[in-house]
Amino acid sequence: GAQRDVFQALITHGIHLQQADMTLYYRDVYDHIVRQYETADSLRDLLTSAMDVYLSTVSNRLNQTTKALTVIASLFLPLSFLTGFYGMNFAYLVGVLETPTNAFLVGIATMLIATFIQLYLFRRRGWL
């Protein structure tokens, strides 16, 4: 900084204008200034590292949250499809299954099977 430059100039160029004890004093002050600048640089690096660790931790938490929301959305996607499919009131489907109750039970069973298959696959891949 500016103080360091002024004291450096006093030590190198202004020694012949000063007394010997003042030259020692200026060198001592210059050393203190340099040490403080080095300490400030070291602390700035430490703070930067701490911020990087904090941001990494926040990013990991965000990734975990995103992962959980993705799994939940993935579980509801086939359920929404099956609900829409069975909600179209196919007369043929009810005729094949003989009663609306049987059609309802087949629809629920299909949804449960799809959900359990997904849960199995998610656990196998380590997503849950």
Q: Given this model, what pLDDT does residue 17 score?
A: 58
The predicted-structure confidence for 31-62, as pLDDT tens digits, reads as follows 888 898 899 999 999 999 999 999 999 999 99
Q: Given this model, what pLDDT does residue 94 score?
A: 65
Identify the CA nearest to 109 among candidates 124, 127, 97: 97
Number of domain units in the chain: 1
The model scores a pTM over 0.85? no
DSSP per position, 82-121: HHHHHTT--HHHHHHHSSHHHHHHHHHHHHHHHHHHHHHH
The predicted-structure confidence for 64-105, as pLDDT tens digits, reads as follows 999 888 888 888 888 888 888 777 766 666 667 777 788 778
Range of the domain at 90: 2-125
Backbone angles phi, psi at 14, to 5 degrees: -105, 15
